[in-house]
């Protein structure tokens, strides 16, 4: 399969390119501006891929509150352009989305399924949902919702919670970490291999209801179990053998500009029912990261 990977310089896009090897056609802002519709169409028609995976995104959640147009252009309009190109070639489009499309139910304490109605609370979340809707206009589409991504420790470009915690700990100062947001930390290599599994099922027209492959649509792909940012930080330091003071605080005390879901745990039953590689428990996945580190 020849697979276009946009956002190839990011932590998930980079991992997918590493996994796909010569089968990947990596693209990033330096080679293609996804907000330029004619350029997207020309590039995709020239490459003629079997599938396109869109890992490109505007991910600055707080800044999006003051840059809604920019966030919408990258997270929604760009997907519309990719979708149009994929429809023209009848190729698969895989759109990466987020747990943040949920969060409207402050009392929720059961994992969200793909069939649950989204309730985005921030500009970022709303633009990502718009991107999902654009991707769904392609007959052959996968929407992969994931959460709390952290890449291999040998990826020098990766910015994520685990790396940030380790860098802050190196300064030796006490830390204050939010303890009232529950989510699913997800190790990028595990997410990437699950995405590749889904794409493999779509080869040779074998995807779709009654055709021997999984139905097109939305899949939740995250690490097993759930935790808070505070407890995740505590476990990071425990596994790393770092003795540091960590104080739990509330979201209100942290004072971020954008609203975060208090609970955005995703149910992975639909993905696992297909027989793909298991998504390990988040502590097990973190141990794999630490072993590599």
Q: Is 32's pLDDT higher than 60?
A: yes
The pTM for the full model equals: 0.95
Q: Which of 58, 112, 124, 271 is catalytic?
A: 124
Pairwise CA distance, residues 160 & 165, whole Å: 9
H or E element that contains 51? strand 51-54
Tokens in use for 227?
């935790």
Residue 143 — φ and ψ, nearest 5°? -115, 115
Specify the DSSP class assigned to residue 30. Answer: T
Query: What confidence score (pLDDT) does residue 106 get?
Result: 83
Cα angle 130, 135, 136 (rounded to 5 degrees) comes to: 95
Query: What confidence score (pLDDT) does residue 211 get?
Result: 53
Mean pLDDT within 104-125: 95
| Known catalytic residue at 219 | no
Q: What is the pLDDT of residues 214-225, one digit of tens each?
A: 689 999 999 999
Specify the DSSP class assigned to residue 291. Answer: H
- CA-nearest of 208, 192, 185, 165 to 276 is 192
Q: What is the pLDDT of residues 227-271, one digit of tens each?
A: 999 999 999 999 999 999 999 999 999 999 999 999 999 999 999
Query: What confidence score (pLDDT) does residue 209 get?
Result: 46
Q: What is the pLDDT of residues 134-171, one digit of tens each?
A: 999 999 999 999 999 999 999 887 899 999 999 999 99
Q: What is the pLDDT of residues 13-31, one digit of tens each?
A: 999 999 999 999 999 999 9
Q: What is the pLDDT of residues 175-211, one digit of tens each?
A: 999 999 999 999 999 999 999 999 998 774 555 544 5
Pair 34, 81: CB distance under 8 Å: yes
To the nearest whole percent, how much of the chain has pLDDT over 70? Answer: 96
Pairwise CA distance, residues 279 & 187, whole Å: 9
Query: What confidence score (pLDDT) does residue 158 get?
Result: 85
Q: How confident is the model at residue 99 (pLDDT cuts 50, 70, 90)?
A: very high
- Domains of the chain, start order: 3-155+184-224+266-279 (3.40.50.720)
To the nearest whole percent, how much of the chain has pLDDT over 90? Answer: 90
**Rounded to 10 degrees, what is the CA torsion of 146, 139, 116, 178?**
20
- CA-nearest of 206, 263, 166 to 50 is 206
Mean pLDDT within 130-136: 98
Pairwise CA distance, residues 287 & 41, whole Å: 42
CB-based contacts of 12: which residues, under 8 Å, 6+ apart?
55, 96, 146, 149, 151, 188, 191, 192
């Amino acid at each position: 399969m020849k697979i276009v990977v946009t956002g190839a310089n990011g932590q998930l896009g980079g991992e997918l390119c590493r996994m796909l090897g010569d089968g990947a056609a990596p693209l990033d802002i330096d080679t293609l501006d996804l907000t330029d519709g004619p350029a997207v169409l020309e590039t995709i028609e020239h490459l003629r891929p079997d599938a396109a995976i869109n890992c490109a995104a505007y991910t600055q959640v707080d800044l999006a509150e003051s840059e809604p147009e920019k966030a919408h252009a990258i997270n929604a309009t760009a997907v519309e352009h990719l979708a149009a190109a994929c429809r023209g070639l009848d190729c698969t489009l895989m759109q990466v989305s987020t747990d943040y499309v949920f969060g409207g139910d402050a009392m929720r304490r059961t994992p969200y399924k793909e069939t649950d109605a989204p309730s985005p609370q921030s500009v970022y979340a709303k633009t990502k949902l718009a991107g999902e809707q654009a991707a769904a206009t392609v007959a052959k589409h996968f929407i992969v919702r994931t959460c709390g991504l952290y890449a291999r420790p040998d990826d020098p470009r990766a910015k994520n919670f685990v790396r940030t915690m380790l860098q802050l700990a190196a300064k030796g100062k006490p830390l204050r970490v939010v303890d009232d947001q529950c989510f699913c930390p997800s190790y990028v290599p595990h997410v990437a291999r699950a995405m590749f599994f889904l794409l493999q099922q779509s080869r040779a027209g074998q995807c779709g209801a009654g055709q021997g492959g999984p139905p097109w649509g939305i899949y939740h792909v995250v690490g097993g179990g759930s935790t808070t940012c505070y407890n995740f930080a505590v476990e990071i330091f425990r596994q790393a053998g770092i003795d540091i003071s960590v104080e739990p605080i509330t979201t209100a005390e942290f004072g971020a500009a954008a609203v975060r879901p208090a609970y955005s745990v995703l149910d992975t039953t639909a993905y696992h029912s297909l027989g793909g590689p298991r998504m390990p428990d988040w502590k097990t996945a973190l141990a794999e990261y630490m072993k590599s580190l």
